Amino acid sequence: MKLQNKVALVTGSSQGIGRGIAVRLAREGADLIINGRKEDEGARETLEQVRAEGRRACFIAADVGEPANCYRLIEQAVEQMGRLDILVNNAGVQKHAAFLDASEADYDQVLNVNLRGPFFLAQAFARHLRDSGRGGRIINNSSVHEELPFPNFSAYCASKGGLKMLTRNMAIELAPLGITVNNVAPGAIETPINQALMNQPEKLESLLDNIPAKRLGQPHDVAGAVAFLASDDADYVTGTTLVIDGGLLWNYSEQ
C-alpha cells in the first residue's frame, strides 16, 4: 500500500470522479475526508465505500467557492483526523452558455468553485504543512480544457486554464516545503456532470469518434493517476499536468 498512515481530503467526493479518487486512495491505505456542500445520499455512499476498504472516513460539509469555508474545511479536517497530508481539489462545476450570453452569476459560480476554492484550500493546507514541518501533496482536478478551447464553456475553460498556471506557481513556491503540486486533466469521463451528453446518442457517438481510445474514461482511470501523484513514487514530480483522455487532446488527422 502506497499511502499508509496518510490522510487525504478530496473535495466534491459525494459522486463521480471525486468518489472514485476517494475510494482508490483508501485502497492505497489513506484515511479520508469526504466533502460536498451537504451530507446527502451520495456522500453517505462514498463514506461507506471508503470504510469498506478498512479506512477511517468522515464527511465535512463546505461550499468551497467561499474562502472562509475553505479555511474552516482545512481546520476541521485537521481537528477530526489529527493531520492532513494530501489535498485533492476535485470539486468543479460547468455552465453551458455562448460567450455572448454568459451571465455574471454563472461566471462567478464557475470561477469560485473551480479556481478560487483550490487557491484558498491549497493556501490553508500549505500553511498547515508548513506549521507541522511536514511535506505533502496537492493534486488539482483540472481538465483537457486547461488547454483545449470548448465553445459555450468559456468560464469553465478560463477556470481550468487558471488552475494550470496556479499549479505551476504553487509548485515553485511550495517545493522548498516538500509540497508537490500537480494537475490531472481528464478528457471525457462518464459521470453525472456529463449526464446530458449521455442522453443524446448522436452527440455521444460524435464525441467517441474524436477519442482515439474509442471509449469514455471512467472515474477509476483518473483515480489511478491521482494515487500515483499522491505517492512517494511521484516525489520528484511537481508543476505538471498528467492528461488522462484516451488521446482526445492531441487527436488530429486528415483523410
Ligand X SMILES: NC(=O)c1ccc[n+]([C@@H]2O[C@H](COP(=O)([O-])OP(=O)(O)OC[C@H]3O[C@@H](n4cnc5c(N)ncnc54)[C@H](O)[C@@H]3O)[C@@H](O)[C@H]2O)c1
2, 29, 37, 71: which one contacts ligand X (CB under 6 A)? 37
Whole-number Å distance between alpha carbons of 253 and 255: 7
Interaction with ligand X in 184-203: which residues (CB under 6 A)? 186, 188-189, 191-194
Cβ burial, residue 79 (10 Å; 0-12/13-18/19+): exposed
Q: Which is nearer to ligand X, 192 or 212 (CB)?
A: 192
- In 25-106, DSSP assigns E strands to 31-36, 57-61, 86-89
The verdict on 12 binding ligand X (CB under 6 A) reads: yes
Q: Which one of residues 50, 120, 143, 180 is an interface residue with ligand X (CB under 6 A)? A: 143
Bridge partners (DSSP) of residue 141 are: 184
**How far apart are alpha carbons 83 and 51 in whole angstroms?**
18
**Does 63 participate in binding ligand X (rule CB under 6 A)?**
yes
Non-local (6+) Cβ contacts of 185 within 8 A are 142, 143, 144, 146, 147, 160, 241, 242, 243, 244, 245, 249
CB of 67 to ligand X, least distance (A): 12
Which one of 36, 118, 136, 161 is in contact with ligand X (CB under 6 A)? Answer: 36
- Residue 162 makes contact with ligand X by CB under 6 A: no
Q: Could you give the strand order of the β-sheet that contains 136-141, starting from the edge strand earlier in sequence?
A: 57-61, 31-36, 7-10, 86-89, 136-141, 179-186, 241-244
Q: Give how many residues touch ligand X by CB under 6 A.
A: 27
Is 71 part of the annotated catalytic residue set?
A: no
Give the residue, chosen from 8, 11, 128, 180, that forms a contact with ligand X under the rule CB under 6 A.
Answer: 11
253 CB-contact burial (10 Å; exposed 0-12 / middle 13-18 / buried 19+): exposed
CB 24 within 8 A of CB 227: yes
User: Which stretch in 24-32, 91-99, 200-208, 228-236 sits in contact with ligand X by CB under 6 A?
Assistant: 91-99
CB-wise, 29 or 107, nearer to ligand X? Answer: 107
Residue 93 as a binder of ligand X (CB under 6 A): the answer is yes
Task: Cell numbers for 200, please give them.
Answer: 443524446
Q: How far is the CB of 11 from ligand X (least distance, A)?
A: 6
Least separation in angstroms between CB 194 and ligand X: 5
- Identity at 97, one-letter amino acid code: A
Interface stretch with ligand X, choices 119-127, 181-189, 202-210, 229-237 (CB under 6 A): 181-189
> In the set 10, 57, 92, 238, which binds ligand X (CB under 6 A)?
92
DSSP category for residue 44 = H
Which residues sit at the interface with ligand X, rule CB under 6 A? 11-12, 14-18, 35-37, 63-65, 90-93, 113, 141, 143, 186, 188-189, 191-194
Catalytic residue numbers, as ranges: 156
